[in-house]
Amino acid sequence: MATKTTGKGTAKTATKKVTKAATGLYKCKSCGMVTTEKGHLCSPQPIKKAYSCEYCGVTVSNPRHVCKPKVMEMSYVCDACGRVAVEKGHLCKPKAIKK
């Protein structure tokens, strides 16, 4: 589990929690929106796993979800593969992103 330190010295976790499908989560086949009420979707599909983003709080079915608050904190890019991360320890060849 990765943590980051905020300006006040407290740590904020940067992981996503997994929710089981038993809660009745559905994803729209057209737009990708995730909800518990399939009546709000035009083409609902049941999903097996859902993830709750620790940065923005939205529930998504994609574990690689990247939201605006997380993008704003991205500080490093991998020189080998091009992935971006908040902490340099998450990359094999980290390079600081100029802001």
CA dihedral 3, 25, 57, 60 (to 10 degrees): 70
* Burial tier of 37 (Cβ tally within 10 Å: 0-12, 13-18, 19+): exposed
pLDDT (0 to 100) of residue 76: 93
pLDDT (0 to 100) of residue 94: 95
Contact (CB, 8 A) for 47 and 26: yes
| Under-50 pLDDT residues of the chain | 1-15, 18-22
